Structure formats: structure tokens, C-alpha cells
Amino acid sequence: MKLFDVYPLWDIEPVKAEGCRLWDKEGREYLDLYGGHAVISIGHSHPVYRQMLSDQIDKMGFYSNAVKNSLQTELALRIGDMSGYPEYSLFLCNSGAEANENAMKLASFHTGRKKILAVEKAFHGRTSGAVEATDNPAIRSAFNENHNVVFVPINNVEALKKELATKEYAAFIIEGIQGVAGIHVPDPAYLKAARDLCNETGTVLIIDEIQSGYGRSGKFFAHQHAGIRADLITVAKGIANGFPMGGVLISPAFEARHGMLGTTFGGNHLACTAAIAVLKVMKVENCIENARITGEYLIEGLKGNKAVKEVRGMGLMIGVELNPGYENLRNRLLFEKHIFTGGAGKNVIRLLPPLCITKKDAGEFLEAFNELTEEQK
Ligand SMILES: Cc1ncc(COP(=O)(O)O)c(C=O)c1O
């Protein structure tokens, strides 16, 4: 059997990783400013993470959600404590798309409404409902076209007001910072207006913090920079540092009913252990503060470079829009300087490093970036 060929692959196979570094089969070292797509939060192979996971697997790896699992309760308490949402409840699942599916389903259960309002260029995942709320027809099949989702332009309060006034929408869903679209931070005034309009129209406000959350923006959640609160918040990616996991933080206004949501693997013993290790390390090592400080250093260091049209983002979620003629920089960074970065479209480099990145690592990237752009006409 061969693999179903859906990923364009780089001809590199990392086999070892530590902190912000990766090594390939040939022993070549790479600096990781991609974090395996914003997944590695506390750094690769962190000793606390490794120890806690190996201790847990020695005891027990999995049992079903039909029995008590105090690791889930401990995780919920820790997320509540660190996120500023202690009174919310937690539902655990396995991925970002699944978290969004469950959030939209909950909003629909809660309001009895069927439609979802999303923003243009949004990315919420590839499963049935999540892909319908993703503004990319190329990844949607006819089966996904249920016409339950409408898109509005981001930062346009009038368009939002007009749609929500119909009171047809179960939820308005928006990313804390748009990632796949090339890193766009919603205006704080827009998020505040969205909060008010959702309150006025009985619409659930879902904030997808799958990429922007978990400390990456320099606060636990990116929407907290705007001083607002969401009804449902979806998380995944950095939550368990590479162990597959997703979750929904749920406002006390939502009533749980046995059987309304469920999953076989969600919140299993290993995933919860990984997620608890992440929060322990994040707290002790001040990862959120580091994201803010090192992010500012990177953003300032990129400004003024002749290849850079615009630098967007917050903390360690940075989009570098390149001027025409510099579209090859991402590949050059990888193959000539051995630095992994993310991309968005052809002309945006996305920086999504582990939150433990040091100023020295960031400086190494800036030096390499400057060297390459200097060489290029
Ligand atoms: C904002 C956002 N939402 C949802 C998802 C989907 O997450 P997953 O790939 O874990 O299903 C992603 C993945 O890139 C994302 O960036």
C-alpha cells in the first residue's frame, strides 16, 4: 500500500528534536520557527513532558469516557485557572476541526437556530461543518455545501450588524487571529461590536483560538487583547505539544445533556497528561511572557527590510508579507539556512515558533533573513 498523496512534501525527514531545534536523518540541524504548524508550544521533547508521558504510559494509556478520569478534571481546573475562564466547562476531543464542529453544534442546540456566520478568508478545519465555515471552495465538496454558512468581510461592523439582525444565526465564529489567511488580527473595536451584537441578537460568539490561543499571542487567548469574552472558545494545536487533542471552553449559560456530545478518544489519559505537562511548563517557564517579548523583538527586527511589505501579528504568531520578487525566501530559508517557517499563499511567511524560543534563536533567524534579502537584488 502507498500513501494517499494529498500533501506536497519537502524532501526532509526530521528524526530528532529538542527545544527549537530539529535534526534530519543526515544529522543536519534546523531551527524551528514553524513549530510543526503552531503545535509545539513548550518546545520539542521537553524533559517534563517526556517524563510525565512515560510515567503515565507505564501506568495506563487509555480507557473510555464511560468511567471517571481525574486527569480530565485536573486539566479543566488548570485551563480555567490560566485562561481567566475558571467558571467555564471543558469538552475534550481530538483536533481543531472537531472542536469547531462541537462548538457549532452546541450553539445550534442552545439557540435552536441552524445558520452560522463566519468571516471571509476564515479557516476552521476540514470536517463537514468546519469546512463549510472555511472560506475556501477548493477544499469543500458538494456534500459539504449545506448552505448553512454565510461569510461577511472582517472588520466591517455594518455587514455584521445586518446579518445578525435577522436573528437566524446560531453563532458568529471568528479566529482570534486569522492564520491561514496570512495573519490578520481583527480590530479590537470590531470584536467589541461583535460581542455586543451577539448579546443583542441572542447569537453565540465562538472564538476559534486553535492557532492563536494557548499563549501564542502574548496573552492566553488572542481575543483577550481586545478585552472581550467569548461564549465558546475552541482550542487544539498547542494544547498538548503534538499529542492530538482539541477542546471547547463552554460558558455556564450552556446546559449539558448526557449524550449530546461525545467521542471515543477525547480526553484520554495520555492526551490529558500531555496537556497538563504543557500548562505546568508554560507556567514555570513564563512561556506566555516570552511569546510577547520575543514576538516584539522579531516584529521590530523584520520591519524596514527591503523584502518586507508588511509585518502583521502579535506575540509569536507573525505574518511577513513579502514584496514581489522575494517569494522564494521561505524555501531559501529552509534549504540554505536550515530554518523552518510556515507559509500562507505565495507571498506570506508565517512565524509560529515554539513559545520557548530564545532571543538568540530569534536573532539567528533575523540574521539569516537579512543575509538572504541582501544577496537578492
Ligand atoms: C484557526 C484554525 N482552526 C481550525 C483548524 C483545524 O485544526 P485541525 O487541523 O487540528 O483539525 C486550524 C488548523 O490549521 C486552524 O488554524
pLDDT tens for 317-364 read 999 999 999 999 999 999 999 999 999 999 999 999 999 999 999 999
**Cα 211 to ligand 1 centroid, rounded to whole Å:** 7
Regions of the chain short of the pLDDT cut 70: 377
Q: What does the alpha-carbon distance between residue 288 and residue 356 come to, in Å, rounded to a whole number? A: 9
What domains can be seen in the chain, in order of their start residue?
Answer: 14-45+286-375 (3.90.1150.10), 47-284 (3.40.640.10)
**Cα 187 to ligand 1 centroid, rounded to whole Å:** 21
* Beta carbon of 125 within 6 Å of any ligand 1 atom: yes
What number does the ligand 1 atom closest to the CA of 127 have? 11
* Sign of CA pseudo-dihedral 36, 262, 139, 214: negative
Which residues, including other chains, have CB under 8 Å from residue 344's CB and lie 6 or more apart? 179, 180, 181, 182, 183, 319, 350
**Cα 246 to ligand 1 centroid, rounded to whole Å:** 10
* Beta carbon of 209 within 6 Å of any ligand 1 atom: no
* Beta carbon of 210 within 6 Å of any ligand 1 atom: yes
Q: What does the alpha-carbon distance between residue 103 and residue 258 come to, in Å, rounded to a whole number? A: 16
Q: Are 340 and 33 in contact (CB under 8 A)?
A: yes
Q: Are 290 and 355 in contact (CB under 8 A)?
A: yes
So what's the pLDDT on residue 133? 98
So what's the pLDDT on residue 145? 87
List beta partners, residue 320: 311, 349
So what's the pLDDT on residue 39? 98
So what's the pLDDT on residue 212? 98
So what's the pLDDT on residue 376? 82
* Beta carbon of 101 within 6 Å of any ligand 1 atom: no
So what's the pLDDT on residue 377? 65
Task: Supply the pTM of this predicted model.
Answer: 0.98
* Beta carbon of 121 within 6 Å of any ligand 1 atom: no
* Beta carbon of 97 within 6 Å of any ligand 1 atom: yes
